[in-house]
Amino acid sequence: MKAMVFPGQGAQFSGMGKDLHDTHDFAKARFAEASEVLGFDIADVMFNGSDEDLKQTKVTQPAIFLQSVITAEGLGDSFNPQFVAGHSLGEFSALVAAGGLDFAEGLRLVSERALAMQAACEATPSTMAAILGMEDDAVETVCSQIDGIVVAANYNCPGQLVISGEVPAVEAACEQLKEAGARRALMLPVGGAFHSPLMEPARERLALALEAANMKAPMCPIVQNVTATPETDPEVIRQNLIAQLTAPVRWTQTMQWLISEGVNDVVEVGPGKVLQGLFKKVDRGLATASATLA
C-alpha cells in the first residue's frame, strides 16, 4: 500500500525546480502561470535567488508548493497512492495533487497563507525550538508550566518535537527541558511561532480565503495534520486546514497511522528527503523513495 507525502517549509534550496522547468513544457507553463498569480517572477527567485531570498516566507511556501505539485502532475498515471499527506504547507500540495483544489486556487491560498503568517510573525516577537531525545508528554508537561505562551507545535518523529511561542517562554522552556533530561534543545532560526496561538491573526485571515475556495473531494483520503486521521469530506478538510495554523502538526501520529493501516511504500513528492528520514525513524524497514520524472 502506497502513501505519497509532501514536504513543508525548510525543504527549499537555491536552484530548485530548474530541471523541471527546462525539461518539461507543462512545467514551464505552470511556472509562468504561477508568476502571473503571485505577481512576481517566482521562477527567477527559485532558480537564481540566494538562500536568503528563498527564506522569505512569501517565496518559500509557493516555491515548495510549485515543485511538489508540478512533480505530482508530471507523474501522470504513476500518481496512484492510497493516501496522501503533507507536513504543514505540504498539506496544500497534497490536496492539489489529489484533485481537491485546482492549481491556481491552491497557489493563491498558499500565497495568502504565507503573507498572513509573515504578518503574524511581525506582530509579536516569537520563535521555535527543536527538542530532541525526550518523550512527547514530558515536553508537553514542561511547556504547560512555563509563564507565557509556549506549546508543542511539530510532532516530527519519536524523540523530536518542536515547540513554539513567545521568545522568553521558549527560552525558559528550553532551559527547563535540558534540566529535565532532553538531549538537546535548539533554538531555530525562524521568524515566528508557527502552529501556536500566536498565529491566530493568520488563521482568521486564511479562514476568509479558505471559506471562499472551491474545494472538492480528493481522489484518495488525505491524512490531515490536525487530527492525524484520513479525510475526504471537503468541508472537514477545509476546517482542518483553517485550524492547522494554530494547532500542532501531528506528523508522528500521521506516520504511525499510515503504517498501522498497512502502508509499506512511501514516496516523497517535492524537494528534499526530510520526510523519508522521519518515516525511517518510525520503521526502518519501510520502502521510501523520492518521486522522479522521466
Q: Report DSSP state, residue 219.
A: S
Angle between the 90-97 and 103-123 helix axes, to the nearest 10 degrees? Answer: 170
In the sheet that 83-86 helps form, which strands lie side by side, from edge to edge?
Answer: 230-231, 222-223, 83-86, 2-6, 265-268, 287-290
Conformational region of residue 115, where left means phi above 0, alpha means psi within -120 to 50, and beta covers everything else: alpha
Sequential DSSP letters for 177-189: HHHTT-SEEEE--
Say if CB 17 and CB 59 are below 8 A apart.
Answer: no
Active site members: 88, 195
Question: Bridge partners of 161?
Answer: 131, 155
Please, which residues have CB within 8 angstroms of residue 106's CB and are 6 or more apart in sequence? 65, 69, 92, 93, 95, 96
Residue carrying C-alpha cell 512555563: 146
5 closest CA partner among 279, 293, 284: 279
Rounded-to-integer distance, Cα 148 and Cα 137, Å? 19
